[in-house]
Structure 1
């Protein structure tokens, strides 16, 4: 079990300046794990990655690639040059696409640098079983769909999946103990769940065996983000 001892902070901001403002609140000696998503990458591009990495933080670049294998492979080759620590694809793209993503990452990682971890999204934490049945016409249970995607991800040789904390134990059983389970939808006890349908506290996620937790608004929109981060980190490492 990898249990990264830092929560991954989702910086879902619209502008590069917001990232700078947020990170400048922290002591420079405090090394963070930062998730940069589509909104920021589409507005600021690679420079936001270079900036966060220049501060010594780790970066999970959350772009959820989902396209034909050739496009995903060539895209990953480019993303590997940015020096990020983790990237992801949609498992719905299939085994061939996921293998292509891995091949692109391996080819694009500069000599002497560690290849980024590659994980796949199973079902988004905003997806309920009803949504899956009506919109995707996947007629199994939500859990069966997630476990199938996780097994296909393992078959493709990826490092793990993004999943709800509720599915961690069954995914580990269906794949292997070192298979990474990164769980968004984490909320400290007593906070609003927002648009996430399947949520859990940091302590519960730790107990259940999640390897990484992603926390966004409970930190970034807190009155005191540093205090909120340290409280969540303490709960995660209890």
Structure 2
């Protein structure tokens, strides 16, 4: 894969009009976009269908979690949209239901391990007995056993996750921040080059690009850094 195949730009914007303007600004520089809650609930699902028809790769970041039947039914319909990637929380029963529902499609199911905005204090408050690193690795192993297509984790855990899942599964890392960039609400971050060297297959970058004064230049700089790391 080229850096352009590996860079996923998060369309974390409030309206479809703003998302379409950002896509136009980035032009051919970017070919893979993430649509999450904010945009999905403002018409982003229809935008996703339109972009898929135009040959654009879409990562639908829905982080599904529900009873098995509900997860399976949702995954079946999402697979019909033609999107490339879909996230769900890495709970074993939900993952097994999703894998069965996606069978025969090209949908890559991604297991969200521990959010990059969470640290050990946050996990303790939520009732987990594991630190972030341990929980990420436990969930990566469960996702691998369930037959998931990839893992979502902090780039800090990418190298350890890669050892568990092998060379074929996707390792998708949000929380990417170029050197000197503001971390914002992210607590486990890494630069694009370091994430690639750690074993990430795809980098998710939102604010450092979509909030930049020159989004296209910001994307090009990140792509150049990724290329150097490769």
User: Normalised by the shorter chain, which TM-score bucket?
Assistant: over 0.9
- 1:237 is paired with a residue whose SS is helix
Question: Is 1:102 the equivalent of 2:117?
Answer: no
Quickly say closer, same or farther: Cα 1:119–1:4, change in 2 above 3 A: farther
- 1:24 is paired with a residue whose SS is helix
Alignment of 1:3-152 (within 5 A): 5-27=5-27, 29-91=28-90, 94-106=91-103, 109=105, 115-135=106-126, 137-152=127-142
- 1:67 is paired with a residue whose SS is coil
1:46 shift after superposition: 2.8
Quickly say closer, same or farther: Cα 1:3–1:157, change in 2 above 3 A: farther
CA distance in 1 between partners of 2:12 and 2:131 (Å) = 30
Equivalent residue, structure 2, for 1:226: 216
Preserved contact between residue 9 and residue 205 of structure 2 (Cα < 8 Å): yes
Count of residues in Structure 1 that have an aligned counterpart in Structure 2: 228
Question: Is 1:167 the equivalent of 2:164?
Answer: no
CA distance in 1 between partners of 2:173 and 2:69 (Å) = 28
RMSD between superposed Cα atoms in Å: 1.7
1:192-222 deviation line (CA, Å, top 9, x unaligned): 0000000000011111111110000110011
1:91-150 deviation line (CA, Å, top 9, x unaligned): 0xx22211111122226x4xxxxx111111000001111110122x21222211110011
Quickly say closer, same or farther: Cα 1:235–1:3, change in 2 above 3 A: closer
CA distance in 2 between partners of 1:201 and 1:142 (Å) = 19
1:5 shift after superposition: 4.0
Preserved contact between residue 3 and residue 211 of structure 1 (Cα < 8 Å): no
Quickly say closer, same or farther: Cα 1:154–1:63, change in 2 above 3 A: same
Question: Is 1:210 the equivalent of 2:200?
Answer: yes
CA distance in 1 between partners of 2:163 and 2:2 (Å) = 16
Quickly say closer, same or farther: Cα 1:145–1:2, change in 2 above 3 A: farther
Moved more, 40-49 or 225-234: 40-49
Q: Which structure has the highest helix share of the two? A: 2
Instruction: Mark the runs of 5 or more structure 1 residues left unpaired by the alignment.
Output: 110-114
Question: Is 1:178 the equivalent of 2:164?
Answer: no
- 2:83 is paired with a residue whose SS is coil
1:30 shift after superposition: 4.5
Quickly say closer, same or farther: Cα 1:132–1:171, change in 2 above 3 A: same
